[in-house]
A and B are shown apart, each in its own frame.
Chain A
Amino acid sequence: MDNVAMNTQPATLLVASLCGYVIGAMAGLLFLRHEKLANLFSFGAAALSGLSGLLAALVFLAGGAVPLPQIELLHSLTPFIHFTARLDALGAFFLLIVSLLSLALSIYSLGYAKGFFGRKNVGVLGAFFNALLLATTVVFVADNIWMFLIAWEIMALTAYCLVSFEHEQPETRDAGVLYFIMSHIDAGCIILGFLLLFQTSGDYGFDSLHVLGAKMSPGKRDAAFILFLLGFGIKAGIVPLHIWLPVAHPVAPSNVSALMSGVIIKTGIYGLTRVLFGFLGAPPLWWGVTVLTVGTVSALLGVLYALMEHDLKRLLAYHSIENIGIILIGLGAALMFLHTNHTVLATLALIAGLYHTINHASFKGLLFLGAGAVLHATHTRNMEEMGGLAKRMPQTAFFFLVGAVAISALPPLNGFVSEWLTYQALLQGFGTTESLMRLIFPLSGAMLALTGALAAACFVKAFGITFLAQPRSEHAAHAHEAPPSMRFGMAVLTVPCVLLGLFPTAFVRLLDPLTQQLTGEQLSAQLSLANGLVLTSLTEKTGTISTLGIVLMAVCLLPIPLALWLVFARNSKTRSGPTWDCGQRGLTPHMEYTATGFSKPIRMIFKALFRPRRDVQREYDFSPYFATTIRFESHIEEVFVRRIYRPLRILILRVSRRIRALQAGSIHAYLLYIFVTLLLLLLFAL
């Protein structure tokens, strides 16, 4: 393939993908009254665009990220403001994520959206879905502050419309409003941050912002760092700015939840990576410490609150906070290594963080799609009303299990590889001379280990309570397998979960141009041993792992149990019978382990954090030991809502009430205000 072809192919594919989303959105609006056509054309177009974007990103990254020409939109309309887009290695990596999810989710939506037929307008859903994907893709390829901010805002607005798609329920409306408020606070912070950068650069293009931090005064640089961390942090859902995430993700339609958890929160990671590693220049130590601490706290609190949840989608939403935390641990460690000029270690930590970003997108997308299929079949999000679904929807159970194993970081799937790399980066930081780093890295590593264990426990609960044992409700008993398109959508997302787990060295090679761009190092050669079969962390001594080797080993051993079975158990019979009930007749679902019961030990250990409120009412006739009815209610409110957000809301309402007195509705008062303002302005002008 000659150089020119390499150069133009990704650009063509990218433009095709963007046009596809536009066509998909148009098709949704065009067929507002024909739901079947709207469904087919809008989600079909989105799936094809996703495929095209996926190919664009892969060809671009595999070709070594040869710089592409800049695309300029609306050149003549806006003389001073340029809307430019250009694909670079970092953008291409995130384009890969959004396109992968777009492909899988759109195929899934073809079946999922049928559930809305006759009830909601599928055309509107398809149009907003495509618009959101378009805006997100543009965020990743924007090459200019204007383009970036406009795409960012469209993304926030379309996501708001999708979250409040089922706006008949008050819960959904409240969640939508909360998301709207939070996403505008984040947009405000980001605009302020970019204005600070613009003050120094005097130009809106991203080129002019490159390593701009060196020219800025330290105070301004720190202010910009804080603003960007707040802004992108809200989008990413870091603790304590995460409160919108567990509220907004569950109420959205499941394909949208998967998109939000898989991609939209990653735009925060994208922004942080681009700004911190591209624009702000050599980081002071406290930036890295802040990001690492925030990441560690998010990871731990995210998983702890997830364990307490029995709403399947809220549980997954809390896990998104946890995984964003793990990604930020990687990024924070990279910043600290950059501060001490360990660029190789910084690159390792950065690879770990970004690797986890694409991993989280694939398995969290998969899990949300699985949850959507369960929701589709049982019409409830409450795990306590599920159970026995592995028998009724075996394929969905399999896909959910793959996602659960991947997110629990068990080998040989992808979550294991990225968490292993994160541990390696943290452990090697112990060898540096900076004493703060020697203290904070092991601490963060220990917290990460605790997080991993709790996450595994949480998914034992999520899978066990949802899919195993007897159905706990009528709905669960009559559940049916998801339609083929939904299963196919889930199958598409299991592919990266497996491939990224088995062939990490091949994937790290794709990241080479990216790390070259951000830190100036390429590590794929150093991370791979034995023709890519074994992944190391820089040297053979520090640690090696081969997920492929584990699988090969298992395959080699498979003949043993099969041979034992063939030799000895050939003549034995297998019967199916009722579960042994210890002589008491009739096993009922009431005797099963509940989600709340499963997490009780952890609730007790972390009582000081959770402060569970429980309410037990018992009625009895003659003795409390023979109760006729018992009602148990347990409720946990997040510590941040209790301590920060509720007092803040009360304060804002109180101040607003005071201010309202100004607007009394009397025209005389208003005339007075105008007069006073005029006087003040005149005085100011003097």
Chain B
Amino acid sequence: MNLDLPSILAQTALLLLLAPLLSGLIKNWKAKLQNRRGARIWQPYFDLLKFLRKDMVISEHTSWIFSVTPYVLFLTADSIPRARLEAWAAVAK
């Protein structure tokens, strides 16, 4: 598989966009199996939007580690799987 930089980024973006949908589908099917109607499959997107708008209360016992960690986790979870870099080799060529 020979990828170039734009398609790597597009793939990553697509992965990020579709991840909540998968979670929504699973929750929906689970509800159906338990004879419940369940939430819409789009519900995780609304949840995420709601969470993003919320105020934050950060414990006074935390340090800078606490505020940096979410970003680090987001970036590593997305970039480490792409570390098999035949793709990067292709970019550099």
Contact = CB atoms under 8 A, between A and B. Distances in A.
B56 A546 contact: no
Interface residues of B, number: 38
Given A550-B79, A557-B79, A575 B57 contact: yes
A394 B63 contact: yes
B93 interface: yes
A549 interface: yes
Q: Residue among A554, A565, A572, A575 with the most chain B CB within 10 A?
A: A554
A557 B12 contact: yes
A544 B89 CA distance: 9
A469 B63 CA distance: 8
Nearest to B49: A568
Nearest to B64: A394
A390 B92 contact: no
B64 A574 contact: no
A682 B92 CA distance: 83
Interface in A553-573: 553-554, 556-558, 560-561, 564-565, 568-569, 571-573
A122 to B, nearest CB: 33
B71 interface: yes
A564 B49 CA distance: 9
B55 A579 contact: no
Interface string B36-54: 0000000000000100111
B67 to A, nearest CB: 9
A554 B76 contact: yes
Contacts of A467: 63, 65
Contacts of A534: 85, 88-89, 92
Contacts of B65: 390, 397, 401, 467-468
Contact of B55 (A468, A546, A549, A575): A575
Given A554-B76, A561-B71, A533 B92 contact: yes
A531 interface: yes
Given A569-B52, A572-B53, A529 B89 contact: yes
Contacts of B53: 568-569, 571-572
Contact of A575 (B9, B56, B88): B56
A12 B74 CA distance: 50
Interface residues of A, number: 43
B59 A577 contact: yes
A617 interface: no
A69 B88 CA distance: 44
Contacts of A544: 84-86, 89
A217 interface: no
A246 B75 CA distance: 38
B78 A557 contact: yes
Contact of A579 (B60, B83, B92): B60
A391 interface: yes
Given A397-B63, A530-B93, A572 B54 contact: yes
A468 B68 CA distance: 14
Contacts of B75: 554, 557-558, 561
B86 to A, nearest CB: 7
A79 B48 CA distance: 83
Nearest to B8: A553
B31 to A, nearest CB: 27
Interface in A569-602: 569, 571-579
Contact of A469 (B12, B61, B80, B93): B61
Interface in A188-239: none
B58 interface: yes
Contacts of B32: none
B16 interface: yes
A44 interface: no
A545 B76 contact: no
Nearest to A569: B52
Nearest to B16: A560
B52 A574 contact: no
A262 interface: no
B82 interface: yes
A545 B85 contact: yes
A391 B74 contact: no
A293 to B, nearest CB: 32
A374 B65 CA distance: 17
A529 B91 CA distance: 12
A388 interface: yes
Contact of A578 (B60, B71, B83): B60
B76 A531 contact: no
Given A572-B53, A573-B55, A549 B60 contact: no
Contact of B58 (A388, A391, A576): A576
Contacts of A561: 70-71, 74-75
B61 A388 contact: yes
A411 interface: yes
A418 interface: no
A130 interface: no
12 contacts: A390-B65, A533-B88, A534-B89, A544-B85, A553-B83, A557-B12, A560-B13, A565-B52, A568-B49, A574-B55, A574-B56, A577-B57
Given A530-B92, A568-B53, A578-B60, 12 more contacts: A397-B63, A529-B89, A530-B89, A534-B85, A545-B85, A553-B82, A561-B71, A561-B75, A568-B49, A569-B52, A576-B59, A577-B58
Interface of B: 8-9, 12-13, 16, 49, 52-65, 70-71, 74-76, 78-80, 82-86, 88-89, 91-93
